[in-house]
Amino acid sequence: MAFTIPRLWTQARLRKQGLEESRNGTLPDAQDTSEEARRGGSCRDCLRGIRFTAVQNASEAGSMRHEAPDVAKALPHNIEAEQAMLGAVFINNAAYDVVSPFLKADHFYEPFHKRLWEVIGRVIQSGKNANPITLKHFIDANEPITPDMNAFQYTARLATEAVTVLNATDYAHAIVDLAQHRELNSIFLDGNDQVNNPSPDRSAAQIAADIEERLAAIRAESPKAEGPGTAKAAVARIMDQDAKGAVVPTIKLPLDQITEVLNGDLEAGNYYGLLSSSGEGKTSLLVQIVDHVAATGHPALVISYDQSPEQIFQQMASQRTGIDGPRIRQKQLTDKEKERYYKELLTISRLPIEVKRCTREGTAQLGGYVRQFRKRFPQGYPMIFLDHVRKVTPRDPKAHEGRIASEINGFCKAMAVEMNAVWLSLMQRNSAGMKRDNPRPISSDIFGGEQAKEDFDGILYLYRPDKYKEDQLRIAKNEKEKDEIERRFEGWEDQAEIGALKVRFGDSTVRRRLRFEKECTRYVSMRNQGDATFEGMGF
């Protein structure tokens, strides 16, 4: 912009206030680490009445050196870039659409600019033109900005002094970058405070996990002038990969039926879900997938809120040997069975698998576990398993279920992308299905409801009708109703259906049957018993 706004007329009052505070012993410490000072947000308080920080001349700057310390003055900012950005939008509202995906109100340093950007966004999104006239009634137009300029006059001057919209993206990038510098300042000061003032309920690992999560958020929101998502960059990558004969990195599943339902293998960077109710065997299927994935050379991390490492590896050995789990736990094996069992345990011990037993961890701690695991197993494309989503401690336990699900699923998707990993989360379905005659899972059964599907690249469901048949028979009113239930579930003994509630690319209506071997909690193909189609075979 071609103009600067002078400091408020409170300069003299500020000097007087600083001297009075010094005498009263209330002068702020230059090392103040309050949240306001760190972030530079709400700088009205930090700057003690200074709305704009552009210094008119060098002599004024020199005279300010012995005034009350300005905590936020050292924080990086560029008022001129903010003014130029706002002016560019006033010239052409299309500039807002270009930068709004990554430039948010919180990125602005000056509080009035924050409020102005929010109002501009609401006006444009309502289909109206945003200019000083249309914004007048949505801001405090008479709010004094300088001794001779109120908010409306200042907004009008932003528009009249604006020169071009050509550099709008550059202005936006500069604003975001400086906001991230201020956030880094806040992160490091927070970390320093917590490290130097230990709390009994905050370990060093938890502090590090919180810092890592905040740093990851900065990396995730960083805009790029020519980002990887532009058509030019994406098409160039496609053509380059095709020329090299490169294929998308994937991880194969242990059963062809699951691959068919998903319309392909699991892709690195994708987030998948597996939905079923308690007792239907979703953890059993998870253990099978973990075993297969690790055996093919992909590191596997199981984040389990339900089972211990010993329980998971015992179940894995049971699935491998076909020996039923209860006899393994009760030590009732024959000599030959012991030999087979311990042989498989030794084989399993050499696989790149780690089980992390969790209790009350939230996403920050889980992120730390995943990053540590990736450092220990840097080779290949890892696969992360979460058992299960509902057990993760949310930031706000009182929040709506949909918001909690969105927080956790968004974290899982972000980690899959960051680690270039496949992430599979187990989901406990709600009880609504029990009230339906046909209890096959639908989208509303997902934790968080329909909106919770947004972050997933694919959602599988596991459905074992035997479980629901027994539940419905227990509450049948009479023999006629029992006969109807028997007829409805006929042909499903010891069988399960695998289907999809969401498939990113392909047909989400594909369904396949699997046989469930209860003794060793193992799913097996039925292909050798004829193709598993569904016509005339119940649900």
Fold of 250-464+496-524: Rossmann fold (3.40.50)
Select from 196, 159, 161 the least CA-distant residue to 31.
Answer: 196
Question: What is the pLDDT confidence band of residue 512, given thresholds at 50, 70 and 90?
Answer: very high
Locate the domains of the chain by residue range.
Answer: 1-197, 250-464+496-524
Question: What is the pLDDT confidence band of residue 229, given thresholds at 50, 70 and 90?
Answer: low
Low-confidence winner among 111-125, 356-370, 421-435 (lowest mean pLDDT): 421-435
Which CATH architecture group holds 1-197?
Orthogonal Bundle (1.10)
* Percent of the chain scoring above 70 in pLDDT: 82
Tokens of 499: 């289907």
Tokens of 165: 């919209």
Select the more confidently predicted residue: 377 or 279: 377
Per-residue pLDDT, 2: 44
CB 458 within 8 A of CB 259: no
Per-residue pLDDT, 228: 56
Low-confidence winner among 39-48, 349-358, 383-392, 464-473 (lowest mean pLDDT): 39-48
Strand partners, 507: none
Q: How many CB atoms within 10 Å of residue 35? A: 11
- Residue ranges with strand state E in 278-415: 300-304, 353-357, 383-387
Give the Cα separation of 307 and 318 in Å (integer): 15
Per-residue pLDDT, 59: 37
pTM of this structure: 0.62
Question: What is the pLDDT confidence band of residue 74, given thresholds at 50, 70 and 90?
Answer: low
Please give the helix or strand (H or E) that residue 144 lies within, else none.
strand 144-146
Strand partners, 463: 497
Residues 6+ away with beta carbon under 8 Å from 21: 27, 28, 68
Per-residue pLDDT, 268: 92
Q: What is the mean pLDDT of residues 159-168?
A: 82
Low-confidence winner among 62-71, 442-451, 469-478 (lowest mean pLDDT): 62-71
Tell me the longest C-alpha to C-alpha distance in the chain: 97
The identity of residue 141, as a single letter, is: A
Select from 274, 219, 272, 251 the least CA-distant residue to 455.
Answer: 272
The yes-or-no verdict on residue 14 having pLDDT over 70 is: no
Phi, psi of 272 (to 5 degrees): -120, 155
Q: How many CB atoms within 10 Å of residue 385? A: 26
Q: What is the pLDDT of residues 297-331, one digit of tens each?
A: 999 999 999 999 999 999 999 999 999 988 999 89
Q: How many CB atoms within 10 Å of residue 129? A: 10
Select the more confidently predicted residue: 244 or 259: 259
